[in-house]
Amino acid sequence: MGIHTTQDRHPEKINQFSVFMENKAGRLLELVRLLESHEIHIIGFTILDTSEASTIRLVVDDPQKARRILSENGISFTECSLIALELPQTAEDLRKVLTLLLQAEININFSYPFLTRPYGKAVLALRVEDEDLAESVLLRNNYRILFQKDISR
């Protein structure tokens, strides 16, 4: 009989970094090179920009190391958790997910796909107003939610 910890029952959620950078050519490449030089892999990202600054939202395979590297290099960032939802391979899946969340009155703040496909399926990152309720609704409807251990190398 194995020993189970609290962490086994509550896996680590997906962590997103919002990295704040000057809106200049080459800044994204600099960030990617920095992370790659420390063997940190980008799993998914999206960019929000204005004429002066960019916010790069990204999910990585090693958030602890990324946090340390960003801090050591004086890069401004914030963090939040996301729901990483595995989507079956039909054209209706996105509509079904959106319908379920709407019926539960859960607002989606933002969303983007992952670059990688853990377990061979498409993955959608979701930032929602009520993460616990969204997870409950999605799990009740047989959707698979991924955790940090599912995307770490």
pTM, two decimals, is 0.85
C-alpha 86: how far from chain center: 12
Label residue 9 by pLDDT band (50, 70, 90): low
Q: What percent of the chain stands above pLDDT 70?
A: 93
Which domain, by its residues, includes 131?
82-151
- Which of 35, 59, 80 terminates a domain? The answer is 80
**In whole angstroms, what is the distance from residue 117 CA to residue 127 CA?**
19
Shared-domain flag, residues 75 and 104:
no
Question: What is the rounded average pLDDT for all residues in the chain?
Answer: 89
Q: What is the mean pLDDT of residues 121-142?
A: 95
Mean pLDDT lowest among 1-5, 45-49, 60-64, 93-97: 1-5
pLDDT above 80 for 5:
no
Q: Residue 109: which CATH number?
A: 3.30.70.260
Q: What percent of the chain stands above pLDDT 90?
A: 70
Give 70-102 pLDDT, tens digit per residue: 999 999 999 999 999 999 877 788 899 999 999
Give 100-124 pLDDT, tens digit per residue: 999 999 999 999 999 888 778 889 9
Q: Residue 60: which CATH number?
A: 3.30.2130.10
* 6 in any annotated domain: no
Label residue 50 by pLDDT band (50, 70, 90): confident
Contact 112, 133 (CB under 8 A): no
Cβ partners under 8 Å of residue 102, min gap 6: none
| DSSP-based three-state secondary structure for 12 | coil
* 5 in any annotated domain: no
